[in-house]
Amino acid sequence: NRQIVLAARPVGAPKETDFRLVEGPVPPPAEGELLVRTIWLSLDPYMRLRMGTDLRYYPPIPLGDVIVGGAVSRVVESRHPKFAPGDIVDDYTGWQDYAIAQGASARRVNPALGPLSTAVGVLGMPGLTAYLGLVKVGRPAPGDTVVISAASGAVGAVAGQVAKIAGCRVVGIAGGAEKLRYLTQELGFDEAIDRHTDDLPGALAAACPDGIDVYFENVGGPIGDAIYPLLAHGARVVICGGISHYNATEPPKVASHSRADPLHRDRGEGFNIYSYGAHYEHARKRLARWLGKAGSPSRRTSWTASRTRRWRFSASSTGSNFGKLLVRVSAE
């Protein structure tokens, strides 16, 4: 059983030497457990936070432990009455070929809803984050201008789709011409802005002549600084993520505008998907219904585990991923 463990806490962007490949026997499941074979491993930005020592987030991964991560897997052996060999499940089983999953917490994946990898994409944690963050905190109304950063990523692409379905004017921010083309031509965003442009505040002001009603914040840093002066009266800011800070070695600078303005009755609210468990199944059903529609986000960047031993986790912090970042660990 190949496992990738945390060898050292990364300083800045994770390096190959922060991870170690170890091999050992496949563990037997105990009563109530499942032995599963990983098919798709999801790479998500939160993993970087768990490689560090910030206790405000979830507990850090202990040195020497398997890297955490959501995965879609096939049950090989079941000692839980709800599951049988061959079932497909989704659980946080981490960076390894085989894992022990808990029958009580593993979620059965319905392959009829979409390709298996969508269970950790549009129909999994990132898609639920996009839907519930936008609906519960952003509260989009028809005609609102919604701006989304990291818009071509796993969360942003779904958030943009949901905002379009809610009747909003949607502006995405992403890096590079190909991603901008994807947003406007394939996903139907109204405008797309390159985050590397020389004049981001000017480009945003031109794209949002009536101001910004909802900002879906995935990135933090200079993008947030350009957004805040443009917030409209009563705007809502979904503070979902700050990927531009995750590799930082110093605390981020807080710009003067980077808080909601009480005079304008703006509202900024931190969002954490794990506080919304009661809404998952409803949200997943909605997203599954939309999945078949033209324009659903289908982009993904994936590698096979055998060729990329450390599984190139850093791609999302450089923007070299395009859509959902995945590792293919075994055949479907």
Residues 6 or more apart whose CB falls under 8 angstroms from that of 95 comprise 3, 4, 41, 66, 67, 69, 311, 327
C-alpha to C-alpha distance for 40 and 301, rounded to whole angstroms: 12
Cα(70)–Cα(43) distance, integer angstroms: 8
**Residue 317 interacting with ligand NDP (CB under 6 A):** yes
Strands (E), the chain: 2-6, 19-23, 33-42, 71-78, 88-91, 98-102, 107-108, 145-148, 169-174, 191-194, 212-217, 231-239, 267-270, 300-304, 324-328
User: What is the x/- site pattern for ligand NDP, positions 223-262, by CB under 6 A?
Assistant: x----------------xxxxx------------------
- Interface positions, 262-301, toward ligand NDP (CB under 6 A): 271-273
- Contact string 184-223 vs ligand NDP (x = CB under 6 A): -----------x----------------------xx-x-x
Q: Give the nearer residue to ligand NDP in terms of CB position, either 78 or 118.
A: 118
Q: Are 327 and 300 in contact (CB under 8 A)?
A: no
Least Å from the CB of residue 326 to ligand NDP: 10
CB of 35 or CB of 200, closer to ligand NDP: 200
Q: Work out how close the CB of 30 gets to ligand NDP at its nearest, in angstroms, rounded to a whole number.
A: 31
CA–CA separation, 286 and 291 (whole Å): 9
Q: How far is the CB of 313 from ligand NDP (least distance, A)?
A: 10
- Pick the binder of ligand NDP from 83, 316, 327, 328 (CB under 6 A): 316
Q: Footprint of ligand NDP on this chain (CB under 6 A)?
A: 44-46, 125-126, 129, 150, 152-156, 174-175, 179, 195, 218-219, 221, 223, 240-244, 271-273, 316-317, 319, 321, 325
